[in-house]
Amino acid sequence: MSLHPRVQEVDFEQLPEPDAQLALALKTLTPDQQIVLALRYARDLSVPQIAERIGLREGTVKSRLHFALRHLRAAIEAERRREETPNV
């Protein structure tokens, strides 16, 4: 899955090496999740600012942030487990 066009100004590919897993996990998010995460953490907007900017209710923004972060944690943990598992 590619990044949503609104998030293109945030170049996840240019993250430092330790964040390579994060960059891969970000690509697995839905476009809606990508947008709210980029605005919250890359652009440092508050939940009310994000809601106003993209025309959503604050509760919807909070929900998307919550599920996006939960998905990222799970994706990164799964990748770490795969790396730790010896190839047989």
Tell me the fold of 5-84.
Arc Repressor Mutant, subunit A (1.10.10)
DSSP string, 51-73: HHHHT--HHHHHHHHHHHHHHHH
Q: What is the pLDDT of residue 66?
A: 96
| Interior angle at CA 32, CA 31 and CA 36, nearest 5 | 115
**If you ran DSSP here, which 8-state letter would residue 45 be given?**
-
**Domain assignments of the chain as residue spans, ordered by start:** 5-84
pLDDT digits (tens, 9 = 90+) for 69-87: 999 889 888 888 888 887 7
Q: What is the pLDDT of residue 3?
A: 47
Answer yes or no: is pLDDT of 39 > 90. yes
